[in-house]
Amino acid sequence: MNAEDILGMEKATMERWRKGDPWGWTEISADDVTYFDPFLTKPVNGMAEYKDYLKQAEGNVNYQVSEFIDPKVEFFGNTAVLTYNYRSRVSDTDGSEISQMLWNTTEVYFKRAADWQIVHTHWSFVNHRLPEKLEIPLPVEMTPVNYDGILGELMPLESAAMERWRKGDPWGFVDLYAPGITYMDSGTPARINGLDAMKAEYKLREGKIYYDVQEFIDPIVQVLDDTAVLTYRFFATTLYPDGSIHKRVPWNCTEVYVKMEGRWRIVHNHWSLIKGERI
């Protein structure tokens, strides 16, 4: 399997999708697939939930033009990370454009036994914002959460970097990034490629992001060999001086970690606002 094969699987499945057939995605996804998109307030976890979610799309999706923009496939042993921008266009009978949507896309494939399957999907609109009102179901933890195994290794790294981030210091994440890091978020018009480009981007954000409380909601890790796909929902909360809530900003997060020379490094990062709307 090479990059063209992975992209070929993706394109063939998308051809079925744009004609109202969503079931190609289940055929190339693993039983433990996790999934984010802008229409969900909580992630899809597992094939049963995925099939239930895709059922509503059957026969209801139809557009004429499917465009993959700057697709990139990176292999890390038996893991393939596919990222691209995607443009879907609806055309009139004369070929003129009626509407289009532009997306950020992350697909993580694992090779298990002889098969390459998607274990995680993250879709978000390029340049998106929160709706005016949003209701999100959240679990209530009555006891402190202790993370074990690989999750127990990654969450302290993530939490420490985020603790610096919320005080205007983005360089904790830079310390975790691999040289070939790829990155997407709610304001990036295209995928950012490489550590130098990320440093330039974060220089623009340094000292401009502040909030008081950080919450990691239901982190999940999917592991194959030296690759770990960490996903979670995240709340950034700003407080008034009296301690009451001023603003809460909810996010979906995908982090792909690879162990390099005994150290976990992030090779891909995708952030999106939960229920983020197109601008």
Residue 139: inside a domain, yes or no? Answer: no
If asked whether residues 154 and 121 sit together in one domain, one would say: no
Q: Give the DSSP H/E element, type plus range, for residue 272.
A: strand 263-273
Residues 154 and 83 in one domain: no
Residue 271 and residue 158 share a domain: yes
Residue 111 has pLDDT above 80, yes or no: yes
Domain match, 153 and 273 both: yes
Tell me the CA end-to-end span of the chain in Å, nearest whole number: 38
Q: Is residue 230 part of a domain?
A: yes
- 124 touches 275 (CB < 8 A): no
- Looking at the structure, tell me whether residues 124 and 154 fall in a common domain: no
Q: Please list the alpha-helical segments (H only) found in the chain.
A: 3-18, 23-27, 47-55, 149-165, 171-176, 195-205
Task: Look at residue 201 and tell me if it is in a domain.
Answer: yes
Contact 228, 200 (CB under 8 A): no
The reply to whether 191 and 268 lie within a common domain is yes
Q: Are residues 116 and 47 in the same domain?
A: yes
pLDDT of residue 138: 85
Tokens of 107: 């697909």
Same domain, 124 and 160: no
DSSP for residue 56: T
Q: Is position 205 within any domain?
A: yes
Cβ-contact 166, 236 below 8 angstroms = yes
Query: Tens digit of pLDDT for each residue in 58-74?
Result: 999 999 889 999 999 99
121 and 155 assigned to the same domain: no
121 shares its domain with 173: no
**Residues 186 and 266 occupy one common structural domain:** yes
Phi, psi of 32 (to 5 degrees): -100, 25
User: Residue 95: which pLDDT band, with cuts at 50, 70 and 90?
Assistant: low
Sorted by sequence, the CB contacts under 8 Å of residue 215 that are 6+ apart come out as: 234, 235, 237
pLDDT of 141-180, one tens digit each? 778 788 999 999 999 999 999 999 999 999 999 999 999 9
Q: Residue 139's pLDDT band (boundaries 50, 70, 90)?
A: confident
Domain co-membership, 165 together with 242: yes
Give yes or no for residue 93 having a pLDDT over 70: no
CATH code, domain with 29:
3.10.450.50
Q: What span, in angstroms and rounded, lies between the C-alpha atoms of 14 and 77?
A: 25
Residue 132 has pLDDT above 70, yes or no: yes
- Domain span at residue 209 reads 149-278
- pLDDT score at 232: 98
- Residue 97 has what pLDDT? 67
Q: Is the pLDDT of residue 265 over 90?
A: yes
Into how many domains does the chain fold? 2
Task: Give SS3 for 247.
Answer: strand
Domain annotation covers residue 108 = yes
Query: Is 87 within a domain?
Result: yes
**pLDDT average, residue stretch 174-203:** 97
pTM over 0.75: yes
Asked which of 95, 129, 163 is the last residue of a domain, the reply is 129
Q: Give a yes or no: residue 236 inside a domain.
A: yes
Last residue of a domain, one of 75, 97, 129: 129
Q: Is the model's pLDDT at 94 over the cut of 70?
A: no
Q: How far apart are CA 125 and CA 144, in angstroms?
A: 34
Residues 75-104 have a mean pLDDT of 88
Helix (H, G, I), strand (E, B) or coil at 50: helix
* C-alpha neighbours within 13 Å on the C-beta side of residue 46: 2
Residue 134 lies in a domain: no
